[in-house]
Structure 1
Amino acid sequence: MAGEDGAVVVGVDGSEAATRALRWAARWAADREAPLHVVYAYGLVARYFATEAPVPPSVIESLLEEAQHIVDAAAREATELAPGLAVSARAVDEPPVPALTHRSRTAALVVLGASGLGGFTGMLAGSTAVAVAAHAHAPVVVVRCGEGRTEPPSTGPIVVGLDGSSLSERAVARAFEEARRRSAPLVAVHAWADVEDENLLRRARLFFMNTPEEEEVRARLDEQLAGWRAKYPEVSVERVLVRDRPRRQLLDRSTTAQLVVVGSRGRGGFTGMLLGSTSQALIHHAQCPVMVVRPSSGES
């Protein structure tokens, strides 16, 4: 069951993006008095198993030393950043995606950088971040900074995407809790589009405004938020209701947010779909950290 030990799992690999993720994860864990598990899945066997030539022992020893150095340095940085934080660190000879996915079964949260050492300059998001967000059993945060920043933002609202699905309800729950802990306002965005053509979309927005359909959708949105507003009366909530592509609305709002929260797939997805177009777009392009909320066990 996800969250069984309440730990935060953060993947590191010595890259700058992973170090930012480590710092974000350490602060999140310290705020909740949760343990932090630092994992470097270097996948030595996976990297060299396909080669027929034997790997010299000196190379293996060097790689193992490097892996241990990376996790030790990460653990020290987390402890320095959050004194008193319970930190464990392991370098494991496993490919990153299955290693992190397996550990997500008992984690409260999995945190990753947007790209790792395997990425390249200008890369949107690493394959590990995308794959873990698609397969993890716990929520996954991909730590993005945005243009012109060296660290992710720590101010601004929490933005959550809603579409009426059970998964978006789980995202709303997470978003309200994040807003409460950070004393931040919450922006609840309900956006949908029946067409992709930009001209048709502009006309659809025009005809939607101040219509019975808009009032009906607004009433459903208010109903979805009512229970959470009662549970978290201290959280200031702004509702955004618009006929537009959800990914565009959420990406635009990520420029001033400190966190965007979405379900791994939305109402427009199909059964068995692992990651929707909106969550993928945010992982690749958002200007702040993105929390991707996964379905519960047995939820399709």
Structure 2
Amino acid sequence: MNGPVVVEVDGSASSRAAVETAAWEAGRHGVGLRLAHAVASPARDVWSDAAGWDPDGGGGLRDRVKRVLAEAERRALRVAPHLSITSDVLIGEPVTVLRSEAEDASLTVLGGPLPRGFGVGLLVAPGRCPVLVTRGRPNPSGTVVLTAGALPGSWRAAEFAFAEASARGADLVVPHARTFFAARLLDGPGGAIPALRKRYPEVTVRPYRGRTRRALLRAAAGAQLVVVGTHGRPGLAPGSAGRTLLRHAHCSVAVVPAGKA
């Protein structure tokens, strides 16, 4: 993890929670934190020239945005006092701004619940960084749950889940391998789970059964984080499991693009 952690900042309660999560992630990985604020404009897509983005001419918008960013920086430094923090104000819709900001990021953090129609899939195309959506009231002593299952691109999601479980001192709950392909991918020679168990021997792995919406939510109940893998096709939202968890999980949800760890 080398690039900064990027977090959307808008002054809302969910944004404040996202800033704290982003600061914790950046601090433990030893990378910088980038605060990104989007100023919507129907006439522009993304414009990073800060000298011209105050449309009311009187400094009102500029002052409000400065206060929001300053408060976010103070909140982040309370979590990680030695964090290197930068901030950007960009013109455009939030998803477009974040897609631009995430080009060189290690992780993008959003406050949830997300607005209906928010294009998470545009942020998690192959080659992009994982997206962490803060939700609900995560149990700090709960598990980390991996829902990636038997997908060819599940390695990266599995590696992310193991790393988070290790950092949080949490057990990792993984899907039970019900098919030959799943067993080979997850538990067979060269599979993700055995390889990652060797890399993270301190992480206790526990299986869960079922792929229904109810089973997923039951596995996520009491968790502190759920990790969702994608199918790897650019421009698409996560699969049905990811969409269910992004709408209904009571803890943060990380959506990790497909790829080999």
TM-score for the superposition, normalised by structure 2: 0.83
Corresponding pairs, count: 245
Instruction: Give per-residue Cα distances to partners, 1:221-262, cap 9 Å, x unaligned.
Output: 4223211112211111012233x42x4322222221110001
Distance in 2, Cα, partners of 1:59 & 1:170: 47
The letter of the residue matching 1:258 is Q
Match of 2:11 in 1: 14
State the shift of 1:169 in Å. Answer: 1.9
The letter of the residue matching 1:253 is A
State the shift of 1:216 in Å. Answer: 4.3
Root-mean-square deviation over aligned CA pairs:
2.8
State the shift of 1:274 in Å. Answer: 3.7
Distance in 2, Cα, partners of 1:215 & 1:39: 43
Match of 1:141 in 2: 132
Match of 1:36 in 2: 33
Instruction: Give per-residue Cα distances to partners, 1:92-141, cap 9 Å, x unaligned.
Output: 222211110111111000000014xxxxxxxxx3247x413543421000
**Pair 1:132-2:98 in alignment:** no
The letter of the residue matching 1:165 is L
Distance in 2, Cα, partners of 1:101 & 1:273: 14
Match of 1:23 in 2: 20
Match of 2:240 in 1: 277
Q: Whose radius of gyration is greater, 1 or 2?
A: 1
Match of 2:252 in 1: 289
State the shift of 1:85 in Å. Answer: 0.8
Decide whether aligned partners of structure 1 residues 48 and 273 sit closer, same or farther in structure 2, where only a CA change above 3 A counts: closer
| Structure whose residues are more often helix by fraction | 1
Distance in 2, Cα, partners of 1:93 & 1:216: 49
| 8 A Cα contact 1:9 1:36, kept in partner | yes
Match of 1:222 in 2: 187
Match of 2:42 in 1: 46
Decide whether aligned partners of structure 1 residues 61 and 218 sit closer, same or farther in structure 2, where only a CA change above 3 A counts: closer
Instruction: Give per-residue Cα distances to partners, 1:204-233, cap 9 Å, x unaligned.
Output: xxxxxxxxxx58477434223211112211
| 8 A Cα contact 1:110 1:141, kept in partner | yes
Instruction: Give per-residue Cα distances to partners, 1:136-157, cap 9 Å, x unaligned.
Output: 4210000001xxx4xx332211
State the shift of 1:62 in Å. Answer: 1.5
Decide whether aligned partners of structure 1 residues 156 and 170 sit closer, same or farther in structure 2, where only a CA change above 3 A counts: same
Decide whether aligned partners of structure 1 residues 157 and 59 sit closer, same or farther in structure 2, where only a CA change above 3 A counts: same
The letter of the residue matching 2:194 is A
List aligned pairs for 1:200-279, cutoff 5 A.
216=180, 219-220=183-184, 221-223=186-188, 224=191, 225-242=193-210, 244-245=211-212, 247-265=213-231, 273-279=236-242
Match of 2:90 in 1: 92
Instruction: Give per-residue Cα distances to partners, 1:62-92, cap 9 Å, x unaligned.
Output: 1222112111111121112211111112222
SS in 2 for 1:112: strand
SS in 2 for 1:46: coil
List aligned pairs for 1:72-87, cutoff 5 A.
72-87=70-85
| 8 A Cα contact 1:71 1:91, kept in partner | no
SS in 2 for 1:105: helix
Distance in 2, Cα, partners of 1:167 & 1:218: 12
Distance in 2, Cα, partners of 1:290 & 1:161: 10
Decide whether aligned partners of structure 1 residues 72 and 271 sit closer, same or farther in structure 2, where only a CA change above 3 A counts: closer
SS in 1 for 2:119: helix
Structure 1 residue runs of 5 or longer lacking an equivalent are 50-55, 116-124, 192-213
| 8 A Cα contact 2:122 2:235, kept in partner | no
Is the deviation greater in 57-66 or in 95-104?
A: 57-66
| 8 A Cα contact 1:187 1:237, kept in partner | yes
The letter of the residue matching 1:87 is I
| 8 A Cα contact 1:251 1:282, kept in partner | yes
